[in-house]
Amino acid sequence: MDSIRQIAEQVEAGVKGVFESDAYRSYLATMSRFHSYSLNNTILIYQQKPDATYIAGYQAWYRSFGRWVRKGEKSIRIMAPITKVREPESQDGSSGKRVIVGYRAIPVFDISQTDGAPLPSFLQEKIDGEVEDYDSFRAALELVSPVPIRYESLEGRANGYYSLERKEIVIDDTLSQLQTVKTVIHEISHAMLHSGKGLDIDRRTMEVQAESIACAVCMHYHLDPSEYSFGYIAGWSKDQELAELKKSMEVICHTSHKIIHALDQIINPDFQTPRDSSGLHAMQEAERILSGA
C-alpha cells in the first residue's frame, strides 16, 4: 500500500505542473466535479484519472447504487483520516470526542469503471449551451453573494466590479447571460476574499484567484469556460514559490467549493453524490492539517 508520505510527496510534485496552461484548465474541471474533497485529494484524482466524474469505494458502489467495479480496473488512491475516540481522562477534557490520529491511503473508483444498475438521474443531468433557467440561476447567485448586486450600463471594457467602499457588486446590464453569470461569480469571489483590511496579496494574485474560482464554478454547471485566460495564469505561477502556489490553490479550492455547495442548496437541495461510508464524508474537514502530515 502507498505510504501517506509518498502520497503527500505526490501532491507536492503535482502542484507546479498543474499551472501549465492546458493542465490548469483540466485540473479546474476535475476540482469542480469534486466539491466535497480537499485540494490534496482533487490533485490526486486529477493526476491519476483527470476525466473522473463521481468516485466511491468498491463496496459503496455496490451497496448504494447496485453497481460493481469491473475486473482489472485500477483504483484511484486518495487520502482518508484515521480517527479514534479520545479517552475520557484526556487532559483537555474532551471525553468521547473523535480525533484525527493520522492518515491512510484508500482505493476509490470512478463511475466509468463500474457496471450494473442504470445510473441515477442526478448523474446524467447537464446544462449545455445557453444558461438554463437563467433567471433562477442568477437569483441564486444573488442570494449567495455576501453583498448586494446591481446592474447598470458600464462604460469602457469592464464587465463588472466589486466596490469595497460601497460594499456592492456592479455588473454591466448589456452582457449576455453566460457572460453575466461568469462576471457575477468572479466579483462574488472578490467580495468573499478580498474585502478585509491589511490583505497581504497583490492585485495579480487576486485576479488569478477570482478568475479560477469563476471558471471552476462555471465548469461545475457545464457552462463554457473557453473565454478564460489560462495562459495568463500559467505566467503568473512562474513567479510564485511552491508554498504560495499551494496557498492560492487552497483558497481557490475552498472558495469554489463553498460557492458550489451554497448554490446547490438553493438550486437542487435534494442533490446527492456517491458517498463512501468508510469515512470519505469527513475528509474535507480532516485534511485541513494534511500539509503537516
Give the C-alpha separation, 289 to 9, whole Å: 15
pLDDT, average across residues 21-36: 83
pLDDT on residue 278: 38
pLDDT, average across residues 6-13: 75
**Sheet containing 168-172, strands listed edge to edge, beginning at the edge strand earlier in sequence:** 149-152, 168-172, 160-163
Where do the H-state alpha helices sit in 3-118?
A: 4-18, 21-33, 39-48, 58-65
- Enter the pTM of the model: 0.76
Percentage of the chain surpassing pLDDT 90? 37
203-220 and 21-33 helices, crossing angle to 10°: 50
In the numeric block, which cell numbers belong to residue 199?
A: 490583505
β-pairing, 160-163 vs 168-172, is antiparallel
Give the C-alpha separation, 195 to 190, whole Å: 7
Q: What are phi and psi of 106, to 5 degrees?
A: -125, 150
Does residue 271 carry a pLDDT above 80? no
Give the C-alpha separation, 39 to 285, whole Å: 11
Give the C-alpha separation, 176 to 199, whole Å: 33
Q: What are phi and psi of 149, to 5 degrees?
A: -120, 130
Contacts from 163-168 at CB under 8 Å and sequence distance 24+?
164/194, 164/195, 167/195
Three-class secondary structure of residue 151 per DSSP: strand
pLDDT on residue 84: 81
106 with 149: CB under 8 angstroms?
A: no
Encode pLDDT of 162-197 as tens digits. 998 899 999 999 998 999 999 999 999 999 998 876
